[in-house]
């Protein structure tokens, strides 16, 4: 079944425009409630958490009303990182968890993500069942069967303790100065406590959300803010999360950015050196070739999936591996959590630093990062990204770039699954070649998009 609402990471869009409207989210809550109740043996409960966007209040109320109308009980968590919702859904034995967040997008956007009772993203068949239910008339259950709503007591404390439990109990972070950029997002009350309670001196930034400043010039999408603070504070390391806390980008003591690819390398290589089995690591089509080469040198197999953490998760399940992720900062450690978790991934890097006695810069130096440029070509509303990447002139430009690169580089052209953009990525040994070819292909995409907007 072709899905109308669900994309690569739940449902996402501009608030006030379909599907992120009160009416549609109300119906979505009802449809999800009916599907969850049909799959469960009892009423169970559905958890609802959110990030710090102003629209979270609106969408939370709409979901709550829809779920109650379907007969599902609800437990409201409030601001909580996406992986925290996954953890609490599993450990509280809820029927499902829902996160209201648009992750790294600006505050004008929002989205809905669902987790199963096991704390994992919903399988395709359940998403399709929800979409099928949304096409049916909405009918409210009798008053005696309406869902009840409660607050989830001490959700933050439970998740903080869980995060800390993933760090070796014999170690501490005493003597380390850490700058934590919470992106004015869902982790603003969580992350500083986790690192501080493990003994670090924590400098928190991006921890004053106002509903509008989430991801604005901060967090994993803007590591420059963290880099400046790390250098100004003389800190040992910087940790930048995104709006919903499932991504992490790090800064070493010298101000160098350590992205998701290098974080994966640091974790896998340290475990390999510690004689801990690492059967393999999963990346995506966008993962730097330097990651693959560095892992090969330390004897760790590497495989690529399509872009998106759900595709990485599928590859990990297929191979029986624990580690995977994306350069953007989705880092999945399935031996610690059921989903990508920025705080937990950062803790694995800090554990490697503590156990090895080496700095992040020293741990990451084993991976050479090939010059790579990613350009996002923004599309006007109504222009299909999938049609643009198949436009004749764009395909001709793509073939030309591939011919010029030969076997000395890679090019990826794809529509985003979370934003109205086409992503252009070129990777090669020479930075000048990368810049020129990226500009050439991006210009062809932009021209095709402009022509489509006028047509």
Check if 397 is active-site. no
Note the pLDDT of residue 123: 87
Q: Point out the domain boundary residue: 127, 153, 179.
A: 153
Residue 413 phi, psi (nearest 5): -125, 120
Is the residue at 184 inside a domain?
no
- Tens of pLDDT along 307-335? 888 899 999 999 999 999 999 999 999 99
Q: Is residue 189 a part of any domain in this protein?
A: no
92 within a domain of the structure (yes/no): yes
Task: Indicate the average pLDDT of the chain.
Answer: 95
Domain assignment present for residue 245? The answer is: no
- CA atoms of 399 and 422, how far apart (whole Å): 17
218 is a domain residue: no
Reported as a single tens digit per residue, the pLDDT across 46-105 is 999 999 999 999 999 999 999 999 999 999 999 999 999 999 999 999 999 999 999 999
Q: Domain for residue 118, yes or no?
A: yes
How much is the pLDDT for 309? 87
Q: Which pLDDT value is given to residue 378?
A: 94
pLDDT at position 219 over 80:
yes
Q: Domain of 96?
A: 11-153
Among all chains, which residue has been given the structure tokens 């800390």? 164
Q: How far is CA 105 from CA 255, 356, 391, 401, in A?
A: 25, 36, 27, 30
pLDDT at 6: 87
Q: Is the dihedral of CA 313, 128, 106, 214 positive or negative?
A: negative
Total domain count for the chain? 2
Residue 1 confidence (pLDDT) above 60? no
In the set 45, 68, 101, 103, the catalytic residue is 103
On whether residue 434 sits in a domain, the answer given is yes
CATH number at residue 424: 3.30.310.50
Interacting residues of 371 by C-beta distance below 8 A, sequence separation 6+: 427, 428, 429, 430, 431, 434
Residue 419's pLDDT band, with cuts at 50, 70 and 90, is confident
pLDDT at residue 5 in the model: 87
pLDDT, residue 307, reads 87
Distances (CA, A) of 391 to 387, 388, 413: 6, 5, 12
Evaluate whether residue 145 is within a structural domain: yes
Note the pLDDT of residue 2: 62
Local confidence band at 357 (pLDDT 50, 70, 90 cut-offs):
very high
Q: Which two tokens stand for residue 283?
A: 């990346």
Q: How confident is the model at residue 400 (pLDDT cuts 50, 70, 90)?
A: very high
Contact between 43 and 96 under an 8 Å Cβ cutoff? The reply is: no
Is 246 in contact with 81 (CB distance < 8 Å)?
yes
* Residue 429 dihedral angles phi and psi, to the nearest 5°: -75, -30
d(CA 226, CA 232): 10
At 68 the pLDDT is 97
Here the CATH number for the domain that contains residue 91 is 3.40.120.10
Residue 313 has a pLDDT of 94
């Amino acid at each position: 079944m072709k899905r109308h609402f669900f994309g690569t990471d739940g449902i996402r869009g501009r608030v006030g425009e379909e599907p992120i409207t009160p009416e549609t989210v109300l119906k979505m809550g009802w449809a999800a409630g009916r599907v969850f109740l049909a799959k469960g043996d009892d009423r169970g409960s559905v958890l609802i958490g959110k990030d710090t966007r102003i629209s979270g209040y609106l969408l939370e109320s709409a979901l709550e009303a829809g779920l109650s109308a379907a007969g599902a009980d609800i437990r409201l968590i409030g601001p909580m990182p996406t992986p925290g919702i996954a953890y609490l859904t599993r450990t509280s034995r809820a029927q499902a968890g829902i996160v209201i967040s648009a992750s790294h997008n600006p505050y004008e956007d929002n989205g809905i993500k669902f987790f199963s009772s096991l704390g994992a993203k919903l399988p395709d068949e359940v998403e399709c069942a929800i979409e099928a239910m949304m096409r049916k008339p909405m009918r409210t259950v009798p008053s005696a069967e309406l869902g009840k709503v409660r607050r989830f007591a001490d959700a933050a404390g439970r998740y903080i303790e869980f995060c800390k439990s993933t760090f070796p109990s014999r170690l501490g972070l005493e003597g380390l100065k850490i700058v934590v950029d919470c992106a004015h997002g869902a982790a603003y009350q969580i992350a500083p406590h986790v690192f501080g309670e493990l003994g670090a001196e924590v400098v928190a930034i991006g921890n004053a959300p106002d509903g509008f400043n989430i991801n604005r010039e901060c967090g994993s999408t803007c590591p420059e803010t963290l880099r400046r603070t790390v250098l100004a504070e003389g800190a040992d390391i910087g940790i930048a999360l995104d709006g919903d806390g499932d991504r992490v980008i790090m800064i070493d003591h010298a101000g160098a950015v350590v992205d998701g690819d290098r974080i994966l390398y640091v974790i896998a290589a340290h475990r390999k050196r510690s004689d801990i089995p690492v059967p393999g690591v999963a990346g995506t089509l966008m993962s730097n070739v330097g990651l693959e080469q560095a892992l090969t040198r330390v004897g760790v197999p590497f495989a690529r999936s399509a872009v998106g953490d759900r595709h990485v998760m599928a590859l990990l399940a297929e191979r029986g591996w624990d580690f995977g992720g994306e350069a953007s900062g989705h880092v999945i450690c399935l031996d610690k959590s059921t989903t990508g978790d920025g705080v937990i991934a950062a803790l694995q890097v800090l554990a490697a630093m503590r156990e090895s006695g080496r700095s992040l810069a020293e741990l990451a130096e084993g991976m050479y990062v090939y010059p790579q440029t990613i350009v996002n070509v923004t599309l006007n509303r109504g222009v299909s990204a999938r049609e643009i990447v198949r436009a004749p002139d764009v395909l001709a430009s793509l073939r030309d770039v591939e011919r010029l690169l030969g076997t000395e580089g890679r090019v990826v052209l794809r529509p985003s699954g979370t934003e109205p953009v086409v992503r252009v990525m070129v990777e090669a040994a020479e930075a000048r070649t990368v810049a020129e070819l990226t500009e050439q292909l991006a210009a062809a995409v932009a021209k095709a998009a402009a022509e489509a907007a006028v047509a």
